């Protein structure tokens, strides 16, 4: 793919304002477009094709909750997932809770983007 353009925009999230990096890449004949939005270690990727349905994926940091999206659904939904943490102390539990809240905010922002483009 060629013709890459990168822009930085600021978006207002429900709980806080944060900066999001957006990158758009198109192939030479402009039949495939890849858009990436990066926010706090999470990256939403939407690839649009001229003759088939969109592909949607989310990459996540290793030390936090996972965001998932089922792009085979008619209306894809971003979901937050974190496997069981087991027994932890209060400080660790608060740390996990804060990371889940932050991931939920990012999930809502990514959901808004998907809803607009899908």
Distance between CA atoms of 65 and 22, rounded to whole angstroms?
A: 22
Please indicate whether residue 4 or residue 46 has the higher confidence score (pLDDT). Answer: 46
pTM: 0.81
- Mean pLDDT across the chain: 85
pLDDT tens digits for range 2-45:
555 544 454 544 445 568 899 999 998 889 999 999 999 999 99
Please indicate whether residue 102 or residue 73 has the higher confidence score (pLDDT). Answer: 102
Task: Tally the C-alpha atoms within 13 A of residue 8's C-alpha that lie toward its C-beta.
Answer: 3
Tokens of 94: 């608060």
Is residue 13 within a helix (H) or strand (E), and if so which, with residue range? none
Distance between CA atoms of 103 and 99, rounded to whole angstroms?
A: 6
**Res 61 pLDDT > 60:** yes
In the chain, where are the structural domains located?
2-117
Count of beta carbons in the 10 Å neighbourhood of residue 29 = 7
Q: 2-12 and 55-59: which strand pairing? A: unpaired
């Amino acid at each position: 793919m060629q013709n890459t353009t990168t822009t930085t925009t600021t978006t207002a999230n429900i709980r806080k304002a944060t900066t999001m990096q957006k990158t758009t890449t198109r192939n030479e004949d402009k039949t495939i477009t890849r858009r990436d939005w990066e926010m706090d270690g999470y990256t939403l990727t939407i690839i649009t094709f001229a003759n088939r349905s969109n592909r949607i994926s989310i990459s996540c940091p290793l030390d936090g909750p996972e965001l998932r999206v089922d792009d085979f659904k008619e209306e894809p939904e971003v979901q937050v997932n974190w496997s069981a943490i087991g027994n932890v102390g209060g400080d660790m539990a608060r740390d996990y809770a804060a990371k889940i809240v932050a991931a939920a905010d990012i999930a809502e922002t990514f959901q808004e983007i998907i809803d607009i483009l899908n």
